[in-house]
Structure 1
């Protein structure tokens, strides 16, 4: 009898504690998801399986002393331009978006299959459709992506910054066919990503 009472008290004591801990964990996961949906939301494409993470102490990428200049310039650009936009963690997909911007065109897909309907748009036209309008004809795109370092002026690359902000916020993803899908990130950990029909571009 005494053992049963003690067991019930222990069960009652731990029950609310476990529920509170679970609720706290869920709130933390939701906050992390809101802060960085690409990193914590597990997007369904390969470009979000590999991340470029700098040294947490220096905020820089650790390169070998004999690293080629091409690699140094590549990582310097990521440090200067992408790390601040992606909260210090850059998915490989962000570099694919860079490549798309550099090409001058965006491939917008309504599905991931081989028969998906795709629309090819100039970068500036796509930026207009997804809400960028600076009243200046969308000419400030930074298509060559060669502005890393002291010559980069963020205000001069509004379209580029706008598209990367949308990507970092989870409003668009780069699929495994190197096309853009318009998306809504999950609200809760474990939820699925939602896809937006291409006709719903603003």
Structure 2
């Protein structure tokens, strides 16, 4: 009896602790799949994280102006959309959006065919419709220098919409900065799934 007591003592507590840990990990992946879901590309291995004491990035006094503008954009525009820490891939996406075109791929091979589509067309394809999702209320212009006076509200909504979808893991940028449509993992240990254009989801190999 004593041996059985030793074997079972604390068993239910350990099981409950494991279940609670699994729920926490699952919740973290659901809330922030880019950070906790380990996307399979280099752009998600390096993150821009501000100083927790100041909320800003620590730059050298002699930092060049282009570096200051780069981190100002990340701090003012991207940090709020990516829960206070920004993967480098988000800055690559930002550059793609500013260029006006998205490179869309169904494969990661060097010779894979890609489609180059206007940002607005891609936004429509991945679900940007009438903009009635509350994101039109964003007052900060993605250009950081127009104060909302030059760029159309629709352009702001598209920019916000695409970054929200990216932050939610609905697409990733591969190592060639091409967009891959994805379904993020829902639990620890699950793989990301790729969605081919016009086809269903398939597990990442």
> Which bin holds the TM-score, normalised by the shorter protein?
0.7 to 0.9
TM-score (normalizing by structure 2): 0.85
Matches within 5 A, 1:46-195: 46-134=42-130, 146-147=143-144, 151=147, 156=153, 157-195=156-194
Q: 2:44, 2:87 within 8 Å by CA — same for their partners in 1? A: yes
Q: Could you list the runs of 5+ residues in structure 2 that have no partner in the other structure?
A: 201-205
Give CA-to-partner distance per residue, 1:40-74, whole Å, 9 cap, x none: 00000000000000111221111122222221111
Question: Greater CA deviation, 99-108 or 35-44?
Answer: 99-108
Q: Which has a greater percent of helix?
A: 1
Q: Could you list the runs of 5+ residues in structure 1 that have no partner in the other structure?
A: none
RMSD: 2.3
Structure 1 200/147 Cα, relative in aligned 2: closer, same or farther at 3 Å?
A: farther
Tell me the equivalent position of 1:17. 13
Counterpart Cα distance in 1 of 2:74 and 2:183: 25
Structure 1 76/50 Cα, relative in aligned 2: closer, same or farther at 3 Å?
A: same
Structure 1 132/167 Cα, relative in aligned 2: closer, same or farther at 3 Å?
A: same
Q: 2:51, 2:57 within 8 Å by CA — same for their partners in 1? A: yes
TM-score (normalizing by structure 1): 0.86
After the TM superposition, which parts of structure 1 deviate over 6 Å for at least 4 consecutive aligned residues? none
Structure 2 SS opposite 1:183: strand
Q: How big is the shift at 1:18?
A: 1.4
Q: How many residues align?
A: 189
Counterpart Cα distance in 2 of 1:6 and 1:155: 75
Counterpart Cα distance in 1 of 2:152 and 2:167: 18
Considering only CA atoms, is the larger Rg found in Structure 1 or Structure 2? 1
Counterpart Cα distance in 2 of 1:6 and 1:57: 54
